[in-house]
Structure 1
Amino acid sequence: MIRLERAQLPSDTATYLKVYTELVEQASEADRKETAADLWTHTTVRRRVRDGLMVTLADMAPGHQRCMYCGDSQGTDIDHFEPKSLAPLRTFEWLNHLLACAYCNSNQKRNSFPRSEADGSPLLIDPTLQDPLEHLRLVLPVCTYKGLTPQGDACIAVFGLNSRGVLVDGRRTAYGTAKQSVELWRIATDRGQHDKAAEIVRLAWNRPLADVLAGMFHQAYHHAAALLFVGEEETLGLLRDRDLRAAFLSRA
């Protein structure tokens, strides 16, 4: 997961979302769950809101429309961060919509929405509101996640970030590719090939599992960076290069 910026919806989509939210609010409390579910699946309603939601979410998503949770698979589903079965009044709320792959949405998350026993706050991370790097640390080079907070632990469990072998293997590959990217940027920049260097940055962020690249830059200035990058001193030096960081992180 990487930090994302919430974009502005097309005006007609925003208007329809408000209309349908009002219809759910008008239903009795006992009927709101059913009303919200019926509206969300109604053909006319989906035609009016789905395209606008999908286009905007896709523009916000990492890489080429990647899942906002796992960062690997293509985002195909409009996920309700707080499930509509638990919060029907948020079914048509823009701030409650994220782009997810079918596996994260239907196989992993489903209606899971753990809350803190202390204050009832959500334990899942909304990457449009919080920086996942404050809750999750990528353990290099094995590329599994360590939870830094209860929210980080909950995301690891709910989305299977460490138990899905395809994600862990993919992150290892992404780690190798990311190291090559920063090395190639340095070479191209030193040769004055600035257009090529810019293309290297663009491609690096557009690959699946961009969270690996984000994690590498974040950890380069961790107090234990020397241990985190043991045997990777050249890579660590590059990740700390001021010009390189400016070039890459301006696109993050």
Structure 2
Amino acid sequence: MAAGFVRCMYCGDSLGTDIDHFKPIARDPLSAFIWKNHFLACSHCNSNKKRDQYPCSPSGECLLVDPSREDPYDHLRLTLPTGKYRGITEKGSETIRVFGLSRPDLELGRAHAYARCGSMLRDWSAQIGGGREDLANTVLKSLSVQPFADVLYVMIKNSDAPGAANLFEAEILAALQKVRHILNVQ
């Protein structure tokens, strides 16, 4: 249901403590029996934010990013230093609204995760350079299961974008490009 530690599939911050019915039971009672409709969520995203919301376009297409079927990166952009998401599609904007992804605590958490990722990438690189593969593997594992793993994903996705050298210092950029291949991020 969720990779690594069982984090909320929406905010990525909190531990997933609830099962969310992506398509609400109130809207489609039979969807309660469809495994692919069950997502791990934190109680805040599930009970305080989404509840029974399921916005759809006039043609009936769901306007929420389905994290099990879609790459959120196709709909959302994260400004790394600030931790702020912005929607680049209608789906992205509705996802931010419904799940409250612009909550100040989440934005601050993502901004801190950006700094933490940079530090951990430097440490990983130093461990590799020092021939300490076991320690490097521990750092990489910790990096990939931390809260706000979406920050690392966005950093990796941006590591080959034009202007990446302006966004990341050289050591972090080199580490991101190596980690991209290890974690097999496209």
TM-score range normalised by the length of the shorter chain:
over 0.9
Change (3 A) 1:126 1:105: same
- Find the counterpart in structure 2 of residue 234 from structure 1: 170
Aligned identity (percent) is: 42
Deviation by residue 1:47-73 (Cα, 9 ceiling, x = unmatched):
xxxxxxxxxx3xxx1442110000011
> Do the aligned residues in 1 keep the contact of 2:125 with 2:175 (CA within 8 Å)?
no
Larger radius of gyration: 1
Where structure 2 has 5 or more consecutive residues not aligned to the other structure, the ranges are none
> Do the aligned residues in 2 keep the contact of 1:184 with 1:200 (CA within 8 Å)?
yes
Equivalent residue letter for 2:157: H
Runs of 4+ in 1 over 4 A off after TM superposition: none
Cα deviation, residue 165, structure 1: 1.1
Task: Say whether 1:217 aligns with 2:156.
Answer: yes
- Find the counterpart in structure 1 of residue 76 from structure 2: 136
Please point out which of 9, 20, 32 is paired with 1:68.
9
Partner secondary structure for residue 33 of structure 2 = coil
Cα deviation, residue 210, structure 1: 0.6
Change (3 A) 1:251 1:202: farther
Q: How does 1:1-252 map to 2 (within 5 A)?
A: 57=1, 61-117=2-58, 119-162=59-102, 164-226=103-165, 229=167, 232-234=168-170, 237-241=173-177, 243-247=178-182, 249-250=183-184
Deviation by residue 1:100-145 (Cα, 9 ceiling, x = unmatched):
111100110001001122x221111111111111111111211100
What is the Cα-based RMSD across aligned positions, in Å? 1.9
Structure 1: distance between partners of 2:65 and 2:45: 14
Partner secondary structure for residue 173 of structure 1 = helix
Structure 2: distance between partners of 1:240 and 1:209: 16
Structure 1: distance between partners of 2:120 and 2:127: 10
> Do the aligned residues in 2 keep the contact of 1:62 with 1:210 (CA within 8 Å)?
no
Matched length:
186
Partner secondary structure for residue 91 of structure 1 = helix
